[in-house]
Amino acid sequence: MLEIHQFPCLTDNYGFLLHDPDSGETAAIDTPDGEEYLRQAQARQWRITAIWNTHWHPDHTGGNAAIVAATGATVVAPAEVERIAPVDRIVASGDMVMLGKHEAQVMDVGGHTKGHIAYHLPVDGLAFVGDSLFALGCGRMFEGTPQQFWASLARLKSLPAETTIYCAHEYSLANARFALHADQGNDALVIYAREIEDKRERGEWTVPFPLARELATNPFLRADDPEMAAHWGGDAPHETLAALRAAKDAF
Ligand SMILES: [Zn+2]
């Protein structure tokens, strides 16, 4: 059974170490802060053997060099990461990455950046999605098109509903406020938003979360819902998504 160690990094990032006790291998999922990752691994007596980057942004790759220098870890990443750091193995949609005997499938979830990927571990029921999907939100569309981003969100929607989603930021409270504005009359959303408010008030994390809950409440995943389309406009889900994304950016 994989062990997942989660810890806050930088201002609002989460760091994740994924450890396989059988093989002794440990993957760093993104690297917002290399020194912090090394400290956290050391405290568990884990040696980081691999880095799995989701996209090129510095708060996801900035610690690669320090971790590689200290551990010799293998860097697995989408090609876009080569813009700012060396990559040992470039991966893309359909590729498989192993941690011991545990298999992670690489998914194309571009839109936030063009080459953004997610790591889905189907047998373990986990997905590390970086900045593509958040609790009640999605990443800003910096590089991709609405068509690309919608295709990515549709792929995430098609994962088994019981999949546990690990996203890279604690943005849930702000996302909940926009979601309540975007999707009025959604009872499941009202309950979820209240839970997020309570958790944040107690200083608790809202990550990870089950995909099933997002399917019912996340306005960006619901851009193909006829009611959302009627309210936000758009003849196709990507157009509704674009309207929602623009409204959130200005909210
Ligand atoms: Zn990012």
How would DSSP label each residue in 116-179?
-EEEEETTTTEEEEETSEETTEE---SSS-HHHHHHHHHHHHTS-TTPEEEESB--HHHHHHHH
Q: What percent of the chain has pLDDT above 70? A: 100
Q: What is the pLDDT of residue 4?
A: 98
Cis peptide before 208 (omega within 30 of 0): yes
* CA dihedral sign of residues 58, 59, 61, 63: positive
Residue 207: what residue type?
V
In this prediction, residue 2 carries a pLDDT of 97
Q: How far is the CA of 244 from the centre of ligand 1 (A)?
A: 19
Which residues does 48 contact at the CB level (< 8 Å), separation at least 6? 17, 26, 27, 28, 37, 38, 41, 67, 70, 71, 73
Query: Residue 251 is encoded by which pair of tokens?
Result: 């909210």
Domain assignment of residue 105, given as a range: 3-249
CA 23 – ligand 1 centroid, Å: 31
**Closest to 108 in 3D by CA, of 142, 153, 146:** 153
Q: How many Å lie between the centroid of ligand 1 and the Cα of residue 58? A: 8
The CA 169 to ligand 1 mean position distance, Å, reads 9
Q: Separation of 22 CA from ligand 1 center, angstroms?
A: 32
**What CATH number is given to the structural domain containing 111?**
3.60.15.10
Q: Is 102 annotated as a binding residue?
A: no
57 is known to lie in a ligand binding site: yes
- Is 120 flagged in the annotation as binding? no
- Name the domain count of the chain: 1
As a whole number, the mean pLDDT across the chain is 97
pLDDT of 29: 98
Q: What band does 163 get if pLDDT is binned at 50, 70 and 90?
A: very high
Q: How far is 177 from 232, CA to CA, in rounded Å?
A: 17
Q: What is the pLDDT of residue 221?
A: 98
Q: CA 210, 215, 218, 224: dihedral to nearest 10 degrees?
A: 160
pLDDT digits (tens, 9 = 90+) for 144-162: 999 999 999 999 999 999 9
Which residues are CB-contacts of 81 (< 8 A; sequence separation ≥ 6)? 53, 55, 56, 61, 64, 75, 87
